[in-house]
């Protein structure tokens, strides 16, 4: 499969993980995600080493995760800790355990070589733990397309005026194309910001924070490899320094973490969490925002899935447009990381 | 795929083609069929050259067919005519456009080399434009079998007494086998005519035209490569010259155009249009005829689809019967055309 | 496909076979099963040698099985006996006919070389003909797993306490693991018997035969290659000689024939027939037993199908447990038979 392996991806939202094993395919492989009797989250290969039954049909028992075919029990490190009717446990009785870190209500998984798993590389996203200032709700959508097509979608917002022309992109196509655009490489990916200065605020912004006149709006999207796009969208009264002095408090503000994890070569898990920095005491604002985002993403999903079908049939040609700038940079960054991984693998010492 | 490429097939009935793009797979390739703002019908490859999204998710705008992912617009010749936010349009921004001709309420498509597309080779079938004398209704059925199995079905009518034993073939098996049979090669395929002289008219014929006594009946089927079977069925009072003097007016008459277009190697689009040369002023006669034909074709469809399953599993052996004569000639004609195409490709000059 | 070919498998229960042709896939090949006008059961390749249509869409006529596409008729030996409209029948007009034997309400089929079909090798199971002493009902379940996974399931009963923990294995896991176990090779496979001596009888046993105190219970499972497991389960009052003197009458007794026939490499037909040697005059006892067994097998089916998915993805490793003893012996027996078949094929004389 074509994806960066030595990297952290979201395996699940913390709220999904209980003592009822959860089956999911990550990076092409079926895994089981669960929380053991001590509350520790774990991800194991979803295949018992005895007769191949899925551990996701099993159950959490005090000793660990029990296969419900013939009763082998495994610890969170993948080692078998119990076999019914026998005392000796063969050392080869084990299943693959993935490095995981649970942080900020999110379970991150390392899909590559466990020896190189480095928790300092996990995306820092403290807003998931900050329900007071950034109320939010967790979302997950299956998309039948390569995960990079979702990243592409987010890194070229000109699609808003077309894909979302009846929803959030209504009448927006010219405004989006004409926006001020800043795009830059970062150590972990690409960031672009679109500014629309002295602009009529959208009705939803007015409703949310009571703007009286025009606003300066921004949309900031940062692709953080391998699969994250950190979105920060907002507006303040026009000319009050948002653009030139980075004064972005006191207006409308919206953060969305988009994080896409490969499922197979032609499908992915699209994790997303919209958080609002306004009307924080109104739970219905959280629901409204989530519902709007969800409907919007369903429109994207339709295009990405059909795009995947066509690209599977005909990968080429792909003719870039000027607005593809940030998207192309993101693709280049990923290509470099993939090349690094391939080189690292090739240059391993070989027995003479 | 195994089909004659340099030939005209039906892409759609004219009545199917509007400014709402229609997705269809023809000759193995997804295409989009639409009518532009000037009313011109066109068929393009259903894949935007930008990011691979299907153009069938797009919409007709004044300039052409707009991809609704990021807004590229294409003309009926497949050339990009507009890219949002940029003035220059790269010459490689284009998609494949197929030669098409709309004639007699039918859109014909050339699936092979555009340079060789010759409209004079299109089947002449003026009855589709003649609603007064030949009232008709258009039909289309997907069949999960190679298109030649539908041609086979039509070129061996002994199946009527078995496949259609409970419908149009009721009690017919002996009559069909004993009929007078004439079969001949034509420049474009094979024609056969079955004559049943001095025969009791079927109840539907009597009801249609009020026969008082016996009739001379004919069934004429002409296979016109690559995918058409032109059917002319009728009856006149016995001994009034239909058989020996070609006097076929004044009785019962029915024309069906069967035209089959390959979708994939194991599926096809079965276009059909039954027209009646009797009770022309009774719209319900058109409906009754269509409904009967449709039910009959569903019986054929069941056999052809299961036949395809078996032939996919076991292509051989196939033991011919005497009644396979016309069918075998049609197959031979197609094999010759396929061999010609293969030779033409092989003998193209190669750069030294 | 990986299965023993020169062997008898169940093709159908006799009660399934009528003059309405039945389509089934056996050993990877579509076949048609029917009873001809004389009542003789037959199995033919489900593909007419004329145009490949399935004979299972045909019908039984006085002469034989008629293909309902163009009317060829075949005898139970697979030879064409009639072609509409012609007198001569070519000798190559025939389809594969399988050796079959109908015995004890069961149709057995030989999937290998017809020349070696030996009816004396058919499993002797007279209980199917003995409705008075062994009332029973026939069952059939499709399982999307290799047929040997069903055999595996039956040859390692430690799964009862896990897969069936909410049904027949309720609270049983320790008892099953601790049972006395006897396992032995037989000329045609492997037999194991589990004894639970001086044991509380299950509630269903008490209800069935009115036990007042403890019982001696046995579970006898004999794998008879290629696909049968003959189960004999029962109990008598504790200490009355069941275990040491083979006195097994007068208590609770249950026989189940399990017989699994390969459909494809990853699916099978699971034929089963539970018979009760108690309350023989109560038809509702037959129904109750059947329903309980059926529900239990659905639990097995879920595991086997998911196990197949995982083993298709990752065939290895498979780490055996001590309780796999009988199962491993059955696998070894089958591997020996498969090796014999492969050798026999390899050592055939080759033309110089």
Nearest CA of chain B to the CA of C138: how many Å?
A: 29
At A352 the pLDDT is 44
Any B CB within 8 A of C174 CB: no
Any C CB within 8 A of B331 CB: no
Which of A177, A302, A311 is closest, CB to CB, to B85?
A: A177
Q: Is C261 in a helix, a strand, or coil?
A: strand
d(CA C173, CA C160): 7
The residue among A160, A173, A194 whose CA lies nearest residue A326 is A194
CB A134 within 8 A of CB A278: no
Give B-chain residues touching C23 at CB under 8 angstroms: none
Sign of the CA dihedral with C129 first, then C131, C135, and C139 last:
positive
Nearest CA of chain C to the CA of A87: how many Å?
A: 10
CATH code assigned at C208: 3.90.380.10
d(CA B21, CA B32): 6
CB A90 within 8 A of CB A114: no
Q: CB B175: neighbour CB atoms within 10 A?
A: 16
Write down which residue in B79, B100, B120 finishes a domain. Answer: B120
Residues 6 or more apart whose Cβ sits within 8 Å of residue B2: B146, B265, B338
d(CA B293, CA B298): 9
| Domain shared by C170 and C44, yes or no | no
Any C CB within 8 A of A195 CB: no
CA A185 to chain centre: 20
| Domain shared by B48 and B151, yes or no | no
| Domain shared by A102 and A167, yes or no | no
The residue among C145, C187, C177, C194 whose CA lies nearest residue C301 is C145
Any C CB within 8 A of B152 CB: yes
Any B CB within 8 A of A180 CB: no
Instruction: Please report the DSSP string for C118-184 in residue order.
Output: -GGGS---GGGG-TTTS-B--EEEEESS-HHHHHHHHH-GGGHHHHTTTTTTTT-HHHHHHSEEEEE
CB contact under 8 A, C310 and A68: no
Nearest CA of chain B to the CA of A71: how many Å?
A: 41
Any C CB within 8 A of B319 CB: yes
| Domain shared by A94 and A159, yes or no | no
| Domain shared by C134 and C18, yes or no | no
Nearest CA of chain C to the CA of A255: how many Å?
A: 39
Q: Chains touching chain A at 3 or more Cβ pairs under 8 angstroms?
A: B, C
Q: Is A211 in a helix, a strand, or coil?
A: coil
- C346 occurs within a structural domain: no
At B352 the pLDDT is 44
Which H helix or E strand runs over A151? Answer: helix A147-155
- B23 occurs within a structural domain: yes
User: Which value does ipTM take for this structure?
Assistant: 0.93
Which H helix or E strand runs over C237? Answer: strand C228-237
Which of C156, C303, C321 is closest, CB to CB, to A86?
A: C321
| Domain shared by C82 and C101, yes or no | yes
CATH code assigned at C69: 2.102.10.10
Nearest CA of chain B to the CA of A296: how many Å?
A: 13
Q: Give the length of chain B.
A: 352
At C223 the pLDDT is 98
Write down which residue in C120, C154, C169 finishes a domain. Answer: C120
Place of tokens 């009072």: B237
At C202 the pLDDT is 83
- Helix H, strand E, coil C: the string for chain B is CCCCCCCEEEEEEHHHCCCCCEEEEECCEEEEEEECCCCCEEEEECCCCCCCCCHHHCEEECCEEECCCCCCEECCCCEEEEECCECCCCCCCECCECCEEEECCEEEEECCCHHHCCHHHCCCCHHHHCCCCCCECCEEEEECCCHHHHHHHHHCHHHHHHHCCCCCCCCCHHHHHHCEEEEEEECCEEEEEEEEEEECCCHHHHHHHCCCCCEEEEEEEEEECCCEEEEEEEEEECCCCHHHHCCCCCCEEEEEEEEEEEEECCEEEEEEEEEECCCCCCHHHHHHHHHHHHHHHHHHHHHHHHHHHHHHHCCCCCCCCHHHHHHHHHHHHHHHHHHHHHHHHHCCCCCC
Q: Is C320 in a helix, a strand, or coil?
A: coil
Which of B46, B52, B66 is closest, CB to CB, to A311?
A: B52
Structure-model confidence comparison of residues A205 and B69, the more confident one: B69
pLDDT tens digits, B143-183: 999 999 999 999 998 999 999 988 777 665 555 556 788 89
| Residue of chain A nearest C328, judged by CA positions | A51
The number of distinct structural domains making up chain C is: 2
State which residues form the domain around B137: 129-339
Q: Tell which of B71, B91, B263 to mutate to test the A interface (max A CBs under 10 Å).
A: B71
Task: Please count the residue pairs, one from chain A and one from chain B, whose beta carbons lie less than 8 angstroms apart.
Answer: 78
| Domain shared by C92 and C181, yes or no | no
Distances (CA, A) of A69 to A53, C50, C165: 7, 49, 10
| Domain shared by B30 and B175, yes or no | no
| Domain shared by A107 and A132, yes or no | no
- B110 occurs within a structural domain: yes
Burial A102-134 (b: 16+ CB within 10 A, else e): bbbebbbbbbbeeeebeeebbbebebbeeeeeb
Strand partners, B94: B79
Q: Chains touching chain C at 3 or more Cβ pairs under 8 angstroms?
A: A, B
Instruction: Please report the DSSP string for A261-276 in residue order.
Output: EEEETTEEEEEEEEEE
Structure-model confidence comparison of residues A174 and B210, the more confident one: B210
d(CA C49, CA A117): 62
| DSSP strand pairing (B64-66 vs B22-26) | unpaired
| Residue of chain B nearest A179, judged by CA positions | B85
User: What band does C352 get if pLDDT is binned at 50, 70 and 90?
Assistant: very low
Write down which residue in C120, C150, C174 finishes a domain. Answer: C120
| Domain shared by A32 and A93, yes or no | yes
CB contact under 8 A, C159 and A49: no
CB contact under 8 A, B152 and C51: yes
Nearest CA of chain B to the CA of A311: how many Å?
A: 6
Which of A158, A310, A321 is closest, CB to CB, to B30?
A: A310
Q: Is C81 in a helix, a strand, or coil?
A: strand
The mean pLDDT of C212-216, rounded to a whole number, is 94
| DSSP strand pairing (A267-276 vs A139-143) | antiparallel
CB contact under 8 A, A67 and C161: no
Half-sphere exposure of B124 (CA within 13 A, CB side): 2
Q: C226: cis peptide before it, omega within 30°? A: yes
C232 pLDDT above the threshold of 80: yes
| Domain shared by A162 and A243, yes or no | yes
Place of tokens 């025969």: B199
Give B-chain residues touching C66 at CB under 8 angstroms: 162
pLDDT tens per residue across all 352 residues of chain A: 789 999 999 999 999 999 999 999 999 999 999 999 999 999 999 999 999 999 999 999 999 999 999 999 999 999 999 999 899 999 999 999 999 999 999 999 999 999 999 999 999 999 999 999 999 999 999 999 999 999 999 999 899 999 998 877 766 556 555 678 889 999 999 999 989 899 888 887 888 888 999 999 999 999 999 999 999 999 999 999 999 999 998 899 999 999 999 999 999 999 999 999 999 999 999 999 999 999 999 999 999 999 999 999 999 999 999 999 999 999 999 999 999 999 987 665 555 4
- A280 occurs within a structural domain: yes
Nearest CA of chain C to the CA of B308: how many Å?
A: 8
Q: Give the length of chain A.
A: 352
The mean pLDDT of B27-40, rounded to a whole number, is 98
CB contact under 8 A, A159 and B69: yes
| Domain shared by A112 and A225, yes or no | no
The residue among C148, C171, C114, C316 whose CA lies nearest residue C223 is C148
- A65 occurs within a structural domain: yes
In this prediction, what percent of chain B has a pLDDT beyond 70? 95
At C170 the pLDDT is 66
B18 pLDDT above the threshold of 90: yes
Any A CB within 8 A of C321 CB: yes
- A95 occurs within a structural domain: yes
- A3 occurs within a structural domain: no
Which of A29, A50, A68 is closest, CB to CB, to C321?
A: A50
d(CA C117, CA B303): 34
Any C CB within 8 A of A30 CB: yes
Q: Tell which of C44, C71, C94 to mutate to test the B interface (max B CBs under 10 Å).
A: C71
Nearest CA of chain A to the CA of B265: how many Å?
A: 15
Give A-chain residues touching C311 at CB under 8 angstroms: 52
pLDDT tens digits, C20-31: 999 999 999 999
- A188 occurs within a structural domain: yes
Strand partners, B268: B143, B262
pLDDT tens digits, C255-299: 999 999 999 999 999 999 999 999 999 999 999 999 999 999 999
Any C CB within 8 A of A91 CB: no
d(CA A24, CA A142): 11
CB contact under 8 A, B71 and A158: yes
CA A303 to chain centre: 18
The mean pLDDT of C205-209, rounded to a whole number, is 86
């Amino acid at each position: 499969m074509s994806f960066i392996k030595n990297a952290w991806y979201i395996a699940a939202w913390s709220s999904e993980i209980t003592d009822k094993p959860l089956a999911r395919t990550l990076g092409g492989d079926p895994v089981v995600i669960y929380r053991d009797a001590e509350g520790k989250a774990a991800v194991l290969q979803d295949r018992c080493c005895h007769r191949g039954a899925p551990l996701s049909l099993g159950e959490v028992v005090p000793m660990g995760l029990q296969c419900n075919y013939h009763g082998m029990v495994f610890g969170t490190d993948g080692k078998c800790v119990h076999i019914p009717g026998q005392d000796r446990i063969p050392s080869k009785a084990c299943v693959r355990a993935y490095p995981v870190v649970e942080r900020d209500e999110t379970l991150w998984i390392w899909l590559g070589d466990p020896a190189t798993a480095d928790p300092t590389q996990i995306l820092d996203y403290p807003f998931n733990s900050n329900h007071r200032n950034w109320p939010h709700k967790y979302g997950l959508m299956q998309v039948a397309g390569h995960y990079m097509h979702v990243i592409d979608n987010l890194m070229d917002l000109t699609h808003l005026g077309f894909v979302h022309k009846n929803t959030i992109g209504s009448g927006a196509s010219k405004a989006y194309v004409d926006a001020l655009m800043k795009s830059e490489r970062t150590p972990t990916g690409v960031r672009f910001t679109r500014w629309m200065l002295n602009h009529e605020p959208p009705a939803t912004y007015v409703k949310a924070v009571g703007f009286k006149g025009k606003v300066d709006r921004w949309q900031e999207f940062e692709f953080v490899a391998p699969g994250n796009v950190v979105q920060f969208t907002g507006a303040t009264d026009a000319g009050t320094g948002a653009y030139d002095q980075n004064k972005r408090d006191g207006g409308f503000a919206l953060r969305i973490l988009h994080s896409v994890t490969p499922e197979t070569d032609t499908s992915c898990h699209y994790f997303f969490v919209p958080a609002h920095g306004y009307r924080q005491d109104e739970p219905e604002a959280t629901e409204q925002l989530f519902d709007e985002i969800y409907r919007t993403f369903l429109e994207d999903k339709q295009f990405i899935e059909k795009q995947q079908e066509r690209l599977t049939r005909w990968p080429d040609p792909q003719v870039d447009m000027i607005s593809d700038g940030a998207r192309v940079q993101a693709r280049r960054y990923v290509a470099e990381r993939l090349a690094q991984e391939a080189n690292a693998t090739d240059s391993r010492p070989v027995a003479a």
